[in-house]
Amino acid sequence: MHPGHSSARSADVLVIGGGVIGLVTAWRAAQRGLRTALADPEPGGGAAQVAAGMLAAVTELHYGEETLLGLNLASAGRYPGFAAELGEASGQDTGYRSCGTLAVALDADDRAHLRELHALQRRFGLQSEWLTGRECRRLEPLLAPGVRGGLRVDGDHQVDPRRLTRALVVACERAGVVFHRRWAERLSVVRDRAAGAVLTGGATVAADQVVLAAGSLSGRLAGVPAQALPPVRPVKGQVLRLRVPSEYAPFLSRTVRAVVRGSHVYLVPRENGELVVGATSEELGWDTAVTAGGVYRLLRDAHELVPGITELPLTETRAGLRPGSPDNAPLLGPSELPGLLLATGHYRNGVLLAPVTGDALAHALVTGELPDEARPFTPRRFSPAQQKVSA
Ligand code: GLY
Q: Is the CB of 50 under 6 A from ligand 1?
A: no
List C-alpha distances in Å: 388 to 56, 203, 385, 391: 34, 40, 5, 5
Task: Measure the CA–CA gap between 136 and 146, rounded to whole angstroms.
Answer: 11
**Closest ligand 1 atom number to CA of residue 348:** 4
Residue with the smallest CA separation from ligand 1 atom 5 is: 279
Whether residue 283 is found in the same domain as residue 378 = no
User: Which among 335, 380, 385, 337 is positioned nearest to 361, based on CA atoms?
Assistant: 335
Write out the residue range of the structural domain in which residue 308 sits: 100-155+234-324
User: What b/e string do you get for 234-257 counting C-beta neighbours within 10 Å, with b at 16 or more?
Assistant: bbbbbbbbbebeeeeeebbebbbb
Q: Do 341 and 212 touch, CB atoms closer than 8 A? A: yes
Whether residue 227 is found in the same domain as residue 276 = no
Q: Do 19 and 353 touch, CB atoms closer than 8 A? A: no
Q: Is residue 364 part of a domain?
A: yes
Q: Is the CB of 322 under 6 A from ligand 1?
A: yes
Output the CA 293–ligand 1 centroid distance in Å: 18
Q: Is residue 69 part of a domain?
A: no
Number of domains in the chain: 2
User: Which among 236, 312, 245, 251 is positioned nearest to 281, based on CA atoms?
Assistant: 236
For residue 161, the cross-strand partners are none
Per-10-residue mean pLDDT, the chain, length 391: 52 98 98 98 96 97 94 98 98 97 94 95 97 97 95 98 98 98 97 97 96 97 97 98 93 95 92 96 96 98 97 97 97 98 98 98 98 97 71 54
Give the model's pLDDT for residue 1: 37
Whether residue 150 is found in the same domain as residue 238 = yes
Give the model's pLDDT for residue 336: 97
Q: Is residue 73 part of a domain?
A: no
Residue with the smallest CA separation from ligand 1 atom 2 is: 348
Whether residue 176 is found in the same domain as residue 300 = no
The pLDDT tens digits of the residues spanning 187-244 come to: 999 999 999 999 999 999 999 999 999 999 999 999 999 999 999 999 999 999 999 9
Whether residue 200 is found in the same domain as residue 250 = no
Whether residue 171 is found in the same domain as residue 311 = no
Q: Is the CB of 346 under 6 A from ligand 1?
A: no
Distance, first Cα to last Cα, the chain: 40
Q: Do 194 and 188 touch, CB atoms closer than 8 A? A: yes
Task: Measure the CA–CA gap between 14 and 9, rounded to whole angstroms.
Answer: 10
Q: Is residue 86 part of a domain?
A: no
**Closest ligand 1 atom number to CA of residue 347:** 4
Q: Is residue 1 part of a domain?
A: no
Whether residue 107 is found in the same domain as residue 147 = yes
Mutate which of 54, 158, 255, 301 for ligand 1 pocket (most atoms within 8 A of beta carbon)? 54
Give the model's pLDDT for residue 112: 92
